[in-house]
A and B are shown apart, each in its own frame.
Chain A
Amino acid sequence: MNMTLTREKESPAIGVENVGSAALTEKVYETSNLNLWYGENHALKNINLDMHQNEVTAIIGPSGCGKSTYIKTLNRMIELVPDVKTTGQIKYRNRNILDQSYKVEDLRTQVGMVFQKPNPFPKSIYENVVYGPKIHGIKNKKILDEIVEKSLKGAAIWDEVKDRLHENAYGLSGGQQQRLCLARCLAIEPDVILMDEPTSALDPISTLKIEELVQELKKDFSIIIVTHNMQQAARISDRTAFFLNGEVIEYSDTNTIFSNPNDKRTEDYITGRFG
């Protein structure tokens, strides 16, 4: 078995102590001049954004501002919607993912996603977690067992489910289901984790657990999270992008955005004057 860890090799300088010193981190995503249309509707307008390794990037904005559309473009889930057209570039690790020669399956193996509503498969907890490894050809039972334990620990749900791994995932509570979905996503050790309003369907305690997890996980993964909850963005993210009507109004350090926004519209939004 190969023992190297690819990403560590790419950026050996990154360690826990470096998180936060933005200048040193490597770029995961570079979006330039991205435009997106749903039929005639111009949903994303000239987006330019860079996302960094081992950071949490939050995307905030009112409903319909395009934040969800944007995050779904990052793993090309947007293509499931018929009649979508894009122009511009999104570079993931220096390769343009909007190029149709980029296989979506390869991209999504690198970039995991956690959805708005918990969506475990109607299978056992174990089967949910091994789904990804299995479809990608990993069949060794011992390795799968290890992956399950590691992933469930990574999503802080191991202790709650370790005695009932073979029970149906639908027996879990909403918050547990969402953490299971996170574990399922961790099982293939993605590079980036996209989270599309992952706590919007959860109660406050479950939300808190997910937020703590995000903090923990960013040591190993790069996380991009869409949220309609500004406090959440302020609590957990390193950088924040504010979207409005399909445009990026402002993008900078989370501290700056929340304490000293550049744009009047950002200030209006975060002080609750609209949205």
Chain B
Amino acid sequence: MELIQYALDNLELLTSRTIEHIALVGVAVGIATLTGVPIGIAITKNERVAKAVLYVASIIVTVPSIALFGIMIPVLSLIGQGIGYLPAVIAVLLYSQLPIIRNTYTAIHNVDPALREAARGIGMSQNQRLRMVEIPLAVPVIMAGVRTAVVLNIGVMAIAAYIGAGGLGTFISRGISQSDPRQLIVGAVAVSLLAIIVDYSLLAIQKRLTPKGMERAAETA
């Protein structure tokens, strides 16, 4: 009861922190999609490059977020942005690369060779093949990668409160430093709920973006 009361009393703050959180993750994953999808497509042309890129992306994900923030402080301090918004966005951007690149690569790589041959045989250029066939077919899997990135990084972004990036993580960090379980729990629950809700919303978008003729195939994927 006490918790609900606290949440209601601080509804305005809770709302603005949630929006802040969504904005941070949204911008970062948005940029990550714009970079990750082209990289994922590009590396389908060369298996060795693909392996190397995916390897690097995997290593990045293994670096703990706290450590990543720590590393970025001296580097970004050079441009006066050691803490706050920029390092938070960069961290999420880096973490998002693996799921997005990997899913894009896998999706394009796994397009039925018969379709690729048909597309070549009727005279599509490489770009036409990508635009008319391969990317539309890959969209559901690419979107699944974006979803993974978003959910993963809603958690990461909570920690970014420690470097002053704002977001729902501030409730948690304050809760710990002030030994206030109400703030701690409200923050944690809010982060979890946000992750679940966003995941479902993106799933709805994913279904809408799935080409109509593939709905049956996409449901089993």
Question: A and B from one assembly?
Answer: no
User: Residues of B at under 8 Å CB distance from A?
Assistant: none
